Each structure stands twice: as C-alpha cells, then as structure tokens.
Amino acid sequence: MNVPVNYWAILVCGIASMVWGSIYYGPLFGKMYISMMGWDKKSPAEQEAAKKGMMKSYVLSFVGSLVMAYILSHVLAFGTSYMHSEGVSAGLSTGFWMWLGFIAPVTMGDILWGNKTWKFWLLSNAYYLIQLLIFGVILSLWK
C-alpha cells in the first residue's frame, strides 16, 4: 500500500509535541516530575551539568516525535482504508490503540524493573496518550 505522507503535518506534530511537553512537564506537572525523577535531590553542580546536556535531549526528543508521527500516519492510513473510518474519530482511535498496544505495555518495564512507581507510570503515560491523541487529530485532519 502506497501511503501518501504529509510531511508538513508530521512537522506540526513534532512542534506540537514540544509545546505539549513544555506545558505538561512545566506548569502542569513539572514539580511532580522533577521530584519523582529525584532531580531535586541533586547537588547544584549535578543540576548544572544536567542542564548542559538538555539541548541534545530536546533535539533527540523532537526527532523521536517526528518518527512517532510518521509511523502513526502510516497506521492511520491503513486504519482508515481497512476500517473505513476517517476524520477526528479515526485519529483519536488510532492514537489510543497505539498507546494501549505499544506505549503502555513497554513503559511498564520502568515500574517492574526500573524501580519507578505506578504514579510515575501514570504521569508519563498520560503525557504519551495525549501526545498520540494530538498527533492522531492533526494527521487525520491535515490531508
């Protein structure tokens, strides 16, 4: 199946991801996330060293978002042709099922093996779920 890719929509998804992340991990849940990660217990020197590597983290996160949006656009195209659904409901449904089938189970490893709490899992996964829903809406509306 030849899937037409709207690279502008994928770029907008990447930008939306960065905006959503700055809101979610900033004013909404930033203090909670910092505490759960233990970053508030680091020395000032450790905190300063971590800040120096943040640009690389932002760039890699942006690239990861572009890859996620690109793959989601293909899954959405398959779903709309196979399930005969389209529009926002197709975007939301595809985003939800990709989160439930791939993100949620894989990130459970952080809880099971990485000494993180279920509260941390909920905080992180709420971000990913909403991110995929946003991507689904953008990709389904922008053809």
CA dist 114 and 96 (Å) reads: 25
Determine the residue type at 80: T
Return the pLDDT at 83.
Answer: 67
Q: Within a 13 Å sphere around the CA of 55, how many CA atoms are in the beta-carbon half? A: 1
Return the pLDDT at 31.
Answer: 92
Low-confidence ranges of the chain (pLDDT < 50): none
Return the pLDDT at 46.
Answer: 74
Report the candidate in 65, 79, 98 with the shortest Cα–Cα distance to residue 140: 79
Which range of residues forms the domain containing residue 126?
7-141
Report the candidate in 99, 77, 55 with the shortest Cα–Cα distance to residue 10: 77
CA dist 97 and 101 (Å) reads: 6
Chain mean position to CA 128: 4
Return the pLDDT at 82.
Answer: 64
Note whether residue 15 is domain-resident: yes
Note whether residue 137 is domain-resident: yes
Return the pLDDT at 69.
Answer: 97
Is there a contact between 131 and 142 (Cβ–Cβ < 8 Å)? no
Note whether residue 1 is domain-resident: no
Report the candidate in 141, 28, 42, 26 with the shortest Cα–Cα distance to residue 94: 141
Distances (CA, A) of 14 to 29, 52, 84: 21, 22, 27
Give how many domains the chain has, as a whole number.
1
Return the pLDDT at 53.
Answer: 77
Note whether residue 2 is domain-resident: no
